[in-house]
């Protein structure tokens, strides 16, 4: 049995090495045997199936919290100085 974790594949007519995780290599080998196709074709079919699922990543959303200070942050040095002053004040 071939070691499928590292294998050569074609990328735009160029040969390249791809490292497959064990579960991906097993899925590719299973598909290759079931359909009597080459490894590259099996990997491509698995990749296309994953792309067709259409899962989208959750959009990034910045979490914010009010710290009681309002400032203009266009001048970074000034904003940092103001925050340093705020941090040096005793807690209320």
Q: Tell me: the pLDDT tens digits for 23-62?
A: 999 999 999 999 999 998 999 999 999 888 877 778 888 8
Q: What is the pTM of this model?
A: 0.46
Percent of the chain with pLDDT over 70: 79
Confidence of residue 11 (pLDDT cuts 50, 70, 90): low
Residue 79: C-alpha distances to residues 24, 74, 85, 88, 91 (Å)? 49, 8, 10, 14, 20
Confidence at residue 54, expressed as pLDDT on a 0 to 100 scale: 76
Q: With contact defined as beta carbons under 8 Å apart, do 82 and 64 qualify?
A: no
Q: Which of 6-15, 51-60, 74-83 has the highest mean pLDDT?
A: 74-83
Tokens of 60: 């990034």
Confidence of residue 1 (pLDDT cuts 50, 70, 90): very low
């Amino acid at each position: 049995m071939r070691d499928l974790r590292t294998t050569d594949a074609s990328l735009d007519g160029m040969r390249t090495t791809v490292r497959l995780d064990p579960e991906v290599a097993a899925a590719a080998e299973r598909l290759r045997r079931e359909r009597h196709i080459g490894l590259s074709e099996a990997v491509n079919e698995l990749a296309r199936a994953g792309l067709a699922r259409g899962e989208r990543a959750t959009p990034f959303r910045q979490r914010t919290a009010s710290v009681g200070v309002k400032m203009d942050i266009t001048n970074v040095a000034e904003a940092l100085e103001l925050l340093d002053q705020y941090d040096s004040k005793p807690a209320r």
